[in-house]
Amino acid sequence: MIFGPNGLGAARAAYRSNVWIRYSVLSVAAAALAIAVPAAAHTGTGLAGGFASGFLHPFSGFDHLLAMVSVGLWGAFLGRPLIVALPVIFPTVMALGGVLGIAGVSLPPVELGIAMSVLVLGAMIAGAVRAPIWLASLIVAIFAIFHGYAHGKELPSAADPVGYSAGFVLATGMLHVVGIGIGLIADRPGGAIVVRGLGGLVMLAGVWFLWVAIR
């Protein structure tokens, strides 16, 4: 045996620390891109203009931002395989919702669905809810449809639909990575309390969005 009990524990701790650092670096890079790209991008016509418009759209609403970061955060809390699965499921299903929005297909009140996504995801994080894989995937997929539909419905008339869709899917993936980086704080001393507290704040924001949507 290479490691004794103490040595093995130290090795595991070092490994978790390295993983946390790698995800943190990715999160910082994603956040930097999220700030820099919108500042540099110029919306317009064609593929590039559509991409810029789509990339900017998830940042145009605080409800979108909170929901997408929360997906990554909840996935990080749940661990494997959902730390990977949820940030893949959401953009994939969201792209389908975007197609429905672009096509003008009717859906139930979209703003209500988006508000509920923020509230429910925040509650899951705040309550440290370890949902089964199938249930967590279903929750994320349902809410992704509403977010994607909202993005697709607001496609600028002159923008390229393919570029627009690619833009909002990429931006969403970056926000998921930021959420994962935040969620990995839970592995640090006292980090779980911080993460659950953030979930509580997200849940309260969801209550506000829901009130605005139904009033």
Q: What is the model's pTM?
A: 0.76
Return d(Cα 63, Cα 110) in angstroms, integer.
Answer: 12
Mean pLDDT of 38-50: 56
> At a CB cut-off of 8 Å and minimum separation 6, what does 188 contact?
20
Q: Supply the pLDDT for residue 5.
A: 44
State how far Cα 92 lies from the chain centre: 12
- In this predicted structure, the answer to whether residue 66 has a pLDDT above a threshold of 80 is yes
Single out the residue of 195, 212, 142, 166 nearest to residue 58, CA to CA.
Answer: 166
- Domain residue ranges of the chain, discontinuous segments joined by +: 5-214
- In this predicted structure, the answer to whether residue 45 has a pLDDT above a threshold of 80 is no
Q: Let me know: does 90 contact 184? Beta carbons within 8 Å.
A: no
Radius of gyration of the chain (CA): 18
Return d(Cα 132, Cα 153) in angstroms, integer.
Answer: 32
Return d(Cα 20, Cα 5) in angstroms, integer.
Answer: 23
CB atoms within 10 A of CB 191: 15
Q: Supply the pLDDT for residue 14.
A: 42
Element (H, E) at 63: helix 62-78
pLDDT band at 169 (very low <50, low <70, confident <90, very high): confident
- In this predicted structure, the answer to whether residue 8 has a pLDDT above a threshold of 50 is no
Higher pLDDT, residue 10 or 124: 124
> At a CB cut-off of 8 Å and minimum separation 6, what does 109 contact?
213
In angstroms, the Cα distances linking 178 to 2, 29, 30, 181 are 36, 9, 7, 5
Q: Supply the pLDDT for residue 19.
A: 53
